[in-house]
Amino acid sequence: MSRKVILCRCEDVTLADIQHAVAAGYADLEEIKRYTGFGTGPCQGKECLREVALAIAAAGARQPETIAPFTTRPPLVPTELGLLAGRAAPAKRRAGT
Amino acid sequence: MAAQVTKSRPTGASLPADAEIAIIGAGVMGLALAYNLALLGVKRVVVLDGHYLAWGASGRNGGGVRQQWSTEMNIRLMQESVELCAGFARELGINVWMRRGGYLFLARTAAARARLEKNVALQNRCDVPTRLVRPEDARAIVPELDVEGFEAACYNATDGIVFPWPFLWGYARAAGRRGVSIHTGTPVTAIEGAAGAFLLHTPKGILRAARVVCASGAWSPEVSRLAGVALPDWPVRHEILSTEPLKPFLKPMVSVIESGLYFSQSLRGELVGGISMPEERGGARQIRLTSSLAFLQTMARAMTEIMPVLAAVKVVRQWAGPYDMSPDGNPIVGEAPDRPGFYVCCGFQGHGFMMAPVVARYYARALAGETPHAFFEAWRADRFTRSGPGPASGGERETMIIG
């Protein structure tokens, strides 16, 4: 069985990736987001932010209470371009047509 | 994804006392310049930045690298820069996710069509293989396009896109290995002294530098003001969005001349793009990095109009960064007027990222004493001063500023 521990499932960022980033001198969630790409996929960090913060603390880079979350970007949830444009999304093809 | 890692910390802890050249700004321009100086054997190069790597515009742009321009200077420089980008992974050992799917420009008006025709002829003379295509034939390149209402299009297959962030890690690591000292979280708060002994005040102490280069992008006017240098460039907020990752379907960057719409599909699968928001061009000289719903709506309307199938695609994130605008549309480089030893490298109109590899190469050579590249004359910093040669000396105005 693989020992790989995935922390960010959207972007396939592993615990080892975070440890390497810390070893390279990056200790801030904003820096580590950019260095590894974690938190930039469809969940935008909702699943992985806490896990990565814990990994940074466990690697000894920061005290947990000094780790601030990265900037939250709009939109709050993934939103269809059609909705934002005021257009309906293309109608779903009905069976048999 | 994970960038290739390094054992050496790219950001040093204690500030050295002296520098031969201090660079203010650890964006792609400053880091590429530091790396090129180190390659040329220049010692004691120090880079200072108030934030972390990729905080500024170098971490906020769309990653386009193209050779379709309206001036020969930019075409030739970008031919060289695109080749540097293509060799970056090999030279610096880091994956920059480059994909050469080309750039497809579309024009709705006869005036824009005439401009594209002129540009394509010039690009062809420079050996860039751009070709004019009829709008309906653009669908052979991007079948999902709705080309109704378009007059003309042009396509160059050798343009492409990169993922901007690894450029910063790559340049920082390579510069660090060659002795450059990089200090993030180290804002310059005051500049005293003169050539030979500038004193840069920071919260970590005072750095004494023989020469200073301001490579602070849209922040350059406020940084240069510390040294008593007045620069004429100003920031314009540009917003950008990223969608959920999709299966690979879109080959080129797609851009519309009139609206400034542009979007591409990165190797990570997401669509990334932006559009002109004319109301941003007002006189406000403050840098704003906030996001707006107005941008999301404008961008969504433009994307779904030109490619209706995108209506079902979800936006996951939007952010903003500043374009660094100059009065005549050309960059501002070289020694600052009346301030010997203080150099500037700014005013790149939103395309500083793609130009940095080549501009930094020649900038470093000039600082190392080699004959300066022709852009030092065309883009000289004193052309806007009363005693200077006048903005007309900046050369022909570049019209292919997108977004």
Condensed to tens digits (0 to 9), the pLDDT of residues B291-315 reads 999 999 999 999 999 999 999 999 9
CA distance A93 to chain B (A): 13
Mean pLDDT rounded to a whole number for chain B: 93
Residues of chain B contacting A, Cβ within 8 Å:
1-3, 5-11, 52-55, 59, 165, 169, 242-245, 268, 291, 293, 296-297, 299-301, 303-305, 308-319
Residue B359: pLDDT above 60?
yes
Of B11-20, B125-134, B171-180, the one with minimum mean pLDDT is B11-20
| CA A43 to chain CA centroid, nearest Å | 6
Counting Cα atoms < 13 Å in the Cβ hemisphere of B51 gives: 13
pLDDT of residue B71: 95
Mean pLDDT rounded to a whole number for chain A: 88
* Greatest CA separation for chain A: 60
pLDDT of residue B13: 66
Residues in CB range of B285: below 8 A, 6 or more apart: B221, B234, B235
Q: How far apart are the first and last CA of chain B?
A: 28
pLDDT-derived band at B125 (thresholds 50, 70, 90) equals very high
pLDDT-derived band at A81 (thresholds 50, 70, 90) equals very high
pLDDT-derived band at B7 (thresholds 50, 70, 90) equals very low
pLDDT tens track for B218-243: 999 999 999 999 999 999 999 999 99
CA distance B53 to chain A (A): 7
Residue A92: pLDDT above 90?
no
pLDDT above 70: percentage of residues in chain B = 94
Counting Cα atoms < 13 Å in the Cβ hemisphere of B80 gives: 13
- Record the tokens describing residue B56, joined without a space: 């500024």
Residue B8: pLDDT above 90?
no
Of A44-48, B116-120, B152-156, B280-284, the one with minimum mean pLDDT is B280-284
Of A37, A78, A83, the CB nearest to B1: A37
For residue B14, list chain A residues with Cβ-Cβ distance below 8 A: none
pLDDT of residue A87: 77
